[in-house]
Amino acid sequence: MSDQHEHHSGEEGWADKKSFRNAFLGVLVVASILAAVAGFVPAWRKEHPHFPAEEFGVFFAVWGFAAFMFIVLAGQHLRKLVGRKEDYYEERE
Amino acid sequence: MTAFFEALLANPAVILTVGAFVIFFLPRHLACAWCLLVTAFSAIKLYTLGLGEYGALHVFGEQLTTVRVDPLSRIFAVVFHIAIVLNVIYAWGQRDKAQNFAMLAYPAACLGGVLAGDLITLFFWWEMAAITSVFLVWAPGTRVTYLAGMRYLAIQILSGVLLLGGVALTYRETGSFAFDMMGLRDADGAVKISALVMFLAFGIKSAFPLLHNWVQDAYPKSTLTGAIILSIFTTKLAVYSLARAFPGTNELIYIGVVMTLFPIFFALIENDLRKVLCYSINNQVGFMVCAIGLGTINGAAGYAFGNIIFEGLLFMALGAAMHRTGTSKATELGGLYKTMPVTMALCIVGALSISAFPGTLGFVTKGLIIDGAGEAHLFWVWLGLLFASAGVLEHAGIKIPYFTFFAHDSGQRPKDAPLPMMIAMGIAAALCLGLGIYPDPLYALLPDQAAIADYHPYTAYHLIEQLQLLLWAVLAFAILILVKWYPAEVPSTNLDTDWFYRVPGRALMSWAAGASRATWIALWGIFSGRVQALMARVYSVHGPEGEMARSWPIGFMALWTAILLALVLVISFIA
């Protein structure tokens, strides 16, 4: 299925450039802060929140950050439990 | 007989099925064009039918409704047609007749199931879906795919057998084959066995937790186009069936939440990106199942519609990368953005959409489900769904595009995707953005129009809530990459529930086969030994050398006669 194509490694593309990475990170940080600050603007708050947690202006930011961190940092240990050699089933079938 | 043919002609699924069989008689280069033409006929038929019940059949004194178009079945039927068109365009030029046949026949079966107005019709199409889809798993033609196909078929048929059992039990209880709301419990709150059996049948096909692993086992082993088609239909038919029969069933809320959560962790450590997307199917179907449990049928149907488009787009983008590089392993991909910029951009649209960024199809559909949990005041469910949303961002929103197109440079410089693939992905991306920005046409298709009238996705609160959740999760990813805490991909096989039937289950089956063979040999040995001993005894008595076959001399006979006469005389004298 794969086509013939050349192999090159080490060529720097636009996404590999430090300037792009810094700019991306800068935009991300600014946007994240703006979203967090927007959570405290009274006119933009939910009129009838379903849960007390929603009244905390940065609840979703905290929960999103914590959830992602937990998934990655805790989840990677699952590999120790269920990870096997790539040909694990081929050897047995 | 006339009524039978009228019922057939009224059914768009029959049009597609007949069209699928015609493929075997067409020149190979015309197959895809034919598929598009037949799909257009089917769509026109669906449109001209309008809402209502059609194709009534009388079988054994019972009336069957082979076609029911109502708001719930209509939205699934519409998106199934869109998906068929996308698949056909994506696979344009595909010459394999078996795959081209399955590309129409399998969606046709799922469409037939969605349009079924009774349980008998549903069962027929349910089994057709199992049989036609396995050709896609077998398509690569290797021993590995043959075994995976057999396991897949066994599980799908088990689901069908359970469905048939449920149909029989339901008929015994109600005297009807109607496929409507049945609920899991009776008026007294006791679980109905008939409904439970049916629930399990639907649960297997929608890949409930612990019943889920047939998806990861079978789908990634299919061909490029096969995996995309498979990813769309079976689980959505099951979602539709649950929405039809079990809306508002409390158990589904918690089953759905578990479905959204556990695949996140398996997807994180999975190296094969097609398997990552299969875990994503489990996760996404979990959102729909939870919505059905909450009674938010708009959420389930709307998200199913959206998911078919954006999950399909991710499968297509990954398939394009695989088409060019021959691999879907994260460890062997990376850096493809340099020469596949269009595929990369379209993949990112799919990734943004599945993550539910504002302006995408995911945002305007997932919000219905999260809001449903909020309105039900189920805090932990709501929190779990938000957690799962961060998980979706991790494995489908970031991992797929990041490891395919960025991450480490694999050194591969393939051409961008072929034109048909780009067109299919382009249409899917346009739908993701178009319906994301202007969702009214989609909302007009939702089953509960009264509920959707009050829903406005683009409120300041919704936007802030979603942007906070997603942007801060992306920030977490950036930090993890910067401090190098994000786990590197490792070539491995990760055990899941299929291990139970592939290793100990297989060993148990081998042991059972060996034990039954040994028992048979032993029993046969005992039996044949006894028979041989008996035959030897009979032979010794009746054989040529046997006592009974011996010839007696006349003198010997006269002597014995004299002895007997003497004995008689002596006895007579004594008496």
User: Does residue B292 sit in the same domain as residue B148?
Assistant: no
Give the start-to-end residue ranges of the domains of chain A: 14-82
Chain position carrying tokens 């689980």: B235
User: Does residue B399 sit in the same domain as residue B292?
Assistant: yes
Name the packing angle between helices B71-90 and B419-437 (round to 10°): 150
CA distance to B236, B262, B276, B483, per residue, from B476 (Å) = 32, 20, 20, 11
In contact, B82 and B4? CB cutoff 8 Å: no
Q: Of A68, A83, A90, which is closest to B492 when you measure between CB atoms?
A: A83
User: In this structure, is residue B498 part of a structural domain?
Assistant: no
* CB proximity under 8 Å: B 329-388 to A: 335, 337-339, 374-375, 377, 379, 382-383, 386-387
At residue B27's C-alpha, the angle toward residues B26 and B31, to 5°, is: 70
Helix, strand, coil shares, percent, chain A, to 5: 55, 5, 40
pLDDT at A2: 46
User: Does residue B222 sit in the same domain as residue B366?
Assistant: no
Number of Cβ pairs < 8 A linking chain A and chain B: 196
Secondary structure letter of residue B118 according to DSSP: B
CB-based contact (8 Å) between B57 and chain A? no
pLDDT at B574: 84
User: In this structure, is residue B497 part of a structural domain?
Assistant: no
Q: Which of B282, B428, B277, B246 is nearest to B353 (CA)?
A: B428
Task: Report the number of distinct structural domains present in chain B.
Answer: 3
Q: Amino acid letter at B390?
A: A
User: Does residue B225 sit in the same domain as residue B145?
Assistant: yes
Secondary structure letter of residue B178 according to DSSP: B
Task: Select from B193, B222, B243 the last residue of a domain.
Answer: B243
In contact, B241 and B278? CB cutoff 8 Å: no
Name the packing angle between helices B273-294 and B297-325 (round to 10°): 170
Work out the minimum CA distance from B74 to partner chain A, whole angstroms: 32
User: In this structure, is residue B397 part of a structural domain?
Assistant: yes
pLDDT at A8: 62
Q: Report the distance separating Cα B293 and Cα B348, nearest Å.
A: 31
User: Does residue B226 sit in the same domain as residue B360?
Assistant: no
Q: Report the distance separating Cα B316 and Cα B88, nearest Å.
A: 12
pLDDT at A7: 58
Q: Is A12 exposed, middle or buried (0-12, 13-18, 19+ CB in 10 A)?
A: exposed
Candidates B96, B266, B471, B502, partner chain A, best to mutate (most A CBs within 10 A): B471
Residue of B nearest to A16 (CA): B406
In contact, B359 and B436? CB cutoff 8 Å: yes
Q: How many CB atoms lie within 10 A of CB A66?
A: 15
Cβ <8 Å between A35 and B324: no
Q: How many CB atoms lie within 10 A of CB B342?
A: 15
Give the domain extent around B560. Answer: 504-574
Q: Of B409, B460, B464, which is closest to A9 when you measure between CB atoms?
A: B409
In contact, B82 and B236? CB cutoff 8 Å: no
- Quick check: A75 pLDDT over 70? yes
User: Does residue B186 sit in the same domain as residue B98?
Assistant: yes
Cβ <8 Å between B468 and A11: no
Q: Report the distance separating Cα B81 and Cα B74, nearest Å.
A: 11
User: In this structure, is residue B499 part of a structural domain?
Assistant: no
Give pTM, 2 decimals: 0.90
Residues in chain B with CB shorter than 8 Å from the CB of A75 are 264-265, 268-269
Q: Report the distance separating Cα A56 and Cα A62, nearest Å.
A: 10
Secondary structure letter of residue B224 according to DSSP: H
Question: What SS3 string covers B466-535?
Answer: HHHHHHHHHHHHHHHHHCCCCCCCCCCEECCCHHHHHCHHHHHHHHHHHHHHHHHHHHHHHHHHHHHHHH
Q: Report the distance separating Cα B91 and Cα B164, nearest Å.
A: 35
Cβ <8 Å between A72 and B268: yes
Rg over CA atoms, chain A: 22
User: In this structure, is residue B341 part of a structural domain?
Assistant: yes
pLDDT at B506: 86
The pair of structure tokens assigned to B116 is 């079924």
pLDDT at B546: 76
User: Does residue B302 sit in the same domain as residue B450?
Assistant: yes
User: In this structure, is residue B496 part of a structural domain?
Assistant: no
CB-based contact (8 Å) between B409 and chain A? yes
pLDDT at A1: 42
Phi and psi at residue B304, in whole multiples of 5°?
A: -60, -45
Cβ <8 Å between A2 and B323: yes
Cβ <8 Å between A62 and B473: no
Phi and psi at residue B56, in whole multiples of 5°?
A: -70, 135
Task: Select from B209, B243, B277 the last residue of a domain.
Answer: B243
Residue of A nearest to B459 (CA): A44
In contact, B300 and B209? CB cutoff 8 Å: no
User: Does residue B305 sit in the same domain as residue B430?
Assistant: yes
In contact, B468 and A66? CB cutoff 8 Å: no
Q: Which of B227, B486, B463 is nearest to B364 (CA)?
A: B463
pLDDT by residue, tens only, chain B of 575 residues: 677 787 788 899 999 999 999 999 999 889 999 999 999 999 999 999 999 999 898 887 888 999 999 999 999 999 999 999 999 999 998 888 999 999 999 999 999 999 999 999 999 999 999 999 999 999 999 999 999 999 999 999 999 999 999 999 999 999 999 999 999 998 888 999 999 999 999 999 999 999 999 999 999 999 989 999 999 999 999 999 999 999 999 999 999 999 999 999 999 999 999 999 999 999 999 999 999 999 999 999 999 999 999 999 999 999 999 999 999 999 999 999 999 999 999 999 999 999 999 999 999 999 999 999 999 999 999 999 999 999 999 999 999 999 999 998 998 899 999 999 999 999 999 999 999 999 999 999 999 999 999 899 999 999 999 999 999 999 999 999 999 999 988 898 999 988 898 899 889 999 999 999 999 999 999 999 999 999 998 888 877 777 777 666 777 788 888 999 999 999 988 87
CA distance to B69, B341, B439, B441, per residue, from B444 (Å) = 15, 35, 9, 5
Q: Which of B336, B424, B423, B328 is nearest to A5 (CA)?
A: B336
At residue B430's C-alpha, the angle toward residues B471 and B326, to 5°, is: 80
User: Does residue B424 sit in the same domain as residue B456?
Assistant: yes
Task: Select from B490, B516, B536 the last residue of a domain.
Answer: B490
Residues in chain B with CB shorter than 8 Å from the CB of A62 are 472
User: Does residue B103 sit in the same domain as residue B219?
Assistant: yes
Residue of B nearest to A34 (CA): B468
The pair of structure tokens assigned to B213 is 């692993």
Cβ <8 Å between B386 and A36: no
Q: Report the distance separating Cα B118 and Cα B115, nearest Å.
A: 9
Cβ <8 Å between B474 and A83: no
Cβ <8 Å between B264 and A71: yes
In contact, B152 and B214? CB cutoff 8 Å: yes
User: Does residue B303 sit in the same domain as residue B233?
Assistant: no
Cβ <8 Å between B502 and A43: no
Chain position carrying tokens 């038919």: B237
Q: Report the distance separating Cα B482 and Cα B46, nearest Å.
A: 53
User: Does residue B261 sit in the same domain as residue B218?
Assistant: no
The pair of structure tokens assigned to A83 is 């990870």
Strand B62-69 vs strand A6-7: parallel, antiparallel, or unpaired?
unpaired
Q: Is B277 exposed, middle or buried (0-12, 13-18, 19+ CB in 10 A)?
A: buried
Q: Of A46, A84, A87, which is closest to B461 when you measure between CB atoms?
A: A46
Q: Amino acid letter at A86?
A: E
pLDDT at A4: 47
